[in-house]
Structure 1
Amino acid sequence: MSQKFNTTRQLQLDINDPAKKLFFDGLPFIPLCSDDAKRFGLVYRPRELAALRRQIQYNPNTIARCLVFDIDKENMPDVYAWSAKYWWDDCSAPAPNWILINPHNGNCHYIYMLAVPVPLTDAARRKPMRYLSVIEELLADKLRADTGFTGLISKNPLSDYWIVETPREQSYSLDELAEYIPDNKEKKKRKKKREMTGLGRRMYIFDELRYWAYSRVLDARENMTFEGWMNKVLSRCEKLNTFSTPLAHAHIKSTAKSVAKWTWQHYVGSGSNVRRGRDAAQNFQLELHDKQVLAAYKTNQQRTTDTERKLLACAENLKAQGKLISKKSLAKNSGCSINTVRKYWDRISELGGGSVRCTSDNYQT
């Protein structure tokens, strides 16, 4: 059975409520949506057409603009008179921006809107991503949220199917949410890979995949097309998705595309966002100490080449002006020390022929 979309009804969407407009404006332009994902599956639709479906993709693939927690009544057997509407207050959690309650069984989604969305791409800063991941994990523990929630689609607050509550209108900063979680001394030990939730799963795959790509992309540029590289990264990403509740394919594909594109276009084997050791990509099989020794050698070799090139260019310039090439004149015009000029003097003498004169032993800098 396929789900039918009433285009006339969808085009009549009129959002006057500020909270609903904020949610709508942040949706992907073509989100995944459904009236029942288990029965009908998910389809892509323009957000104007998807906005009144019961379930919808709430975050774009590369941005986290809200956190969603799936809270089921059956997970609260020890809680007397459990109520989705007030559960956040009972467990001293922050007030959700949206509470979306299933009218048939009482299960619900809590949605927390972020004042500043957090990018989730390879070019984005790691600290906000990890900060958000830790906040999500600890809030999920506090709310006893379902760890099997995939984090792709949620109940849609724009649909009239759910019972909707809005305890708070203002969006949260990350620091505001962090006030409701235990401090560093009380945090639980990091969960095992298969037990990770939401953004934790994405961050794990993201970090593992990018380090894997760093060590292989330089060779890939020489031996395959970008399409081949993209397929190779996607295949690796799928192999990493071995959680008890795997990430949705849309997230896997988005992560693989981000890592493949950035490494192909920008990675050169050095920089602040890669593992230590110059040219580690070409020598990923070496131990760290060996990488550092090789890096020091190559760096010194490059510095020597640059200095020699600079002095030879200065000597060429002096020769073209008809001036004698001396250690003193080279040091003065190149900005190098007299000791550096002496080091390369034999090579410069070969260039200068009869115009080279050694008159600099008593040169004072």
Structure 2
Amino acid sequence: MTAQLDFFRERLPRKPYHTNDLMTGLQIAQLKTAISSRYIQPNGPTHKYWFVFDVDSSTAAIDWYDQGAPAPNFIAANPQNGHAHLFYGLEVPVRTAPDGKLAPLKYAAAIESALRERLGADMGYKGLICKNPLHGFWRVTQYEKEPYTLDWLADYLDLSDHPIKRTEYGLGRNCELFDALSKWARRAIRQGWPKYDQFLQACLDRATGYNAQYFTHNPLPHNELFHTARSVAKWTHAHITQAGFSEWQATQGAKGGKKSKGGGRKTNERSARQSKPWESIGISKATYYRNKQKTTD
């Protein structure tokens, strides 16, 4: 086994989805069992280790070169029709869990979108399951030996035409769902301050609704919805509390009618930027500063 395929095996989820026949549905098993199947889950729910693209062409194994795309680390092709999955490994995986940093996720989403278009890959391919390059049925061809950085991939692409908002494919969906659900949760928790289990169910219901509303052609799978809803619910329930919100309201009321006399303003603003009080009370940064301005005018 070569370094590229060793790298693939090492990064597989511990209990991946797998199947020998897509028509019979997916199963979950320990890796030692799943790895013998024709199809397997390449990325877990918290990290993106691989960009995988589905190219339905009889010459999929070489089309990437004619399109001026970067060389895949390897390709797993169907020996009967040439259709293939192209694999691009990431040197540093992108954290797709909602507690990860949003900027790298958005950058990766734009790269994924641009590379999919460059390759002429199937827009409807969700990436949950892939041709298992460790299975002998597929014809595996290996190209680039080293895993890619996001910047290295971006050098081949024009990202200006690939905004990640309102996209129904790939990582862009994760970005949009997290943004929308977080904004909703910070307002919703103030409507009665529910217990965690109740609030988690409300977040999951809202995430399911957004999934149906935003991604009609290519919805996120339930496990990704649940991980996003749980992360948003956990953070919001822990950080936006009834006591904290009441304290903020009392502080705002005490400031009513007072005039700002200057002095120390820059220090106070710097402190606010560091502590981000708007997050703990569940309002936007813009609303926080608008309310603050009203109390000092």
TM tier, smaller: 0.7 to 0.9
**Quick one: structure 1 residues 200 and 189, their matched pair in 2 at CA, closer, same or farther if it must change by over 3 Å?**
closer
Does 2:13 align with 1:28? Answer: yes
Matches within 5 A, 1:78-227: 83-182=59-158, 187-188=160-161, 190=163, 193=166, 196-217=168-189, 219=191, 222-224=193-195, 226-227=196-197
Residues 198-250 of structure 1: CA distance to partner in whole angstroms, max 9, x if unpaired? 11122211221122122233556x332x2212111111111111321212222
**TM-score, normalised relative to structure 2:** 0.79
**Quick one: structure 1 residues 58 and 266, their matched pair in 2 at CA, closer, same or farther if it must change by over 3 Å?**
farther
State the AA in 2 paired with 1:129: L
Output the aligned Cα RMSD.
2.9
Which structure would you say has the larger Rg? 1
Q: Hey, what's the Cα distance between the residues in 1 that align with 2:155 and 2:105?
A: 17
**Quick one: structure 1 residues 296 and 46, their matched pair in 2 at CA, closer, same or farther if it must change by over 3 Å?**
farther
Match for residue 204 of structure 2? 234
Match for residue 289 of structure 2? 292
Tell me the secondary structure at the aligned position of residue 104 of structure 1. Answer: coil
Unaligned 5+ segments in structure 1 are 1-15, 74-81, 301-365
Q: 1:53: how far off? A: 0.9
**Quick one: structure 1 residues 208 and 272, their matched pair in 2 at CA, closer, same or farther if it must change by over 3 Å?**
farther
State the AA in 1 paired with 2:123: T
- On the 8 A contact 1:112/1:171 being kept in 2, the answer is yes
- On the 8 A contact 1:33/1:153 being kept in 2, the answer is yes
Q: 1:272: how far off? A: 7.0
Q: Hey, what's the Cα distance between the residues in 2 that align with 1:163 and 1:230?
A: 45
State the AA in 2 paired with 1:24: R
Paired residues, what number? 265
Q: Hey, what's the Cα distance between the residues in 2 that align with 1:191 and 1:121?
A: 17
Tell me the secondary structure at the aligned position of residue 36 of structure 2. Answer: coil
**TM-score, normalised relative to structure 1:** 0.65
Tell me the secondary structure at the aligned position of residue 48 of structure 1. Answer: helix
State the AA in 2 paired with 1:292: Y
Match for residue 61 of structure 1? 45
Q: Which has the higher contact order (CA 8 A, sep 6+)?
A: 2
State the AA in 2 paired with 1:25: E
State the AA in 2 paired with 1:235: D
Q: Hey, what's the Cα distance between the residues in 2 that align with 1:98 and 1:56?
A: 16
- On the 8 A contact 1:55/1:156 being kept in 2, the answer is yes
**Quick one: structure 1 residues 274 and 139, their matched pair in 2 at CA, closer, same or farther if it must change by over 3 Å?**
farther
Match for residue 321 of structure 1? none
Does 2:14 align with 1:17? Answer: no
State the AA in 2 paired with 1:228: Q
Q: 1:56: how far off? A: 1.1
Unaligned 5+ segments in structure 2 are 249-271
Match for residue 340 of structure 1? none
Q: 1:97: how far off? A: 0.9
- On the 8 A contact 1:68/1:111 being kept in 2, the answer is yes
User: Structure 2 residue aligned with 1:249, among 222, 232, 235?
Assistant: 222
Residues 137-184 of structure 1: CA distance to partner in whole angstroms, max 9, x if unpaired? 0001111111111121111111111111111121000110000101x5
Residue identity over aligned pairs, in percent, reads 32
**Quick one: structure 1 residues 33 and 85, their matched pair in 2 at CA, closer, same or farther if it must change by over 3 Å?**
same
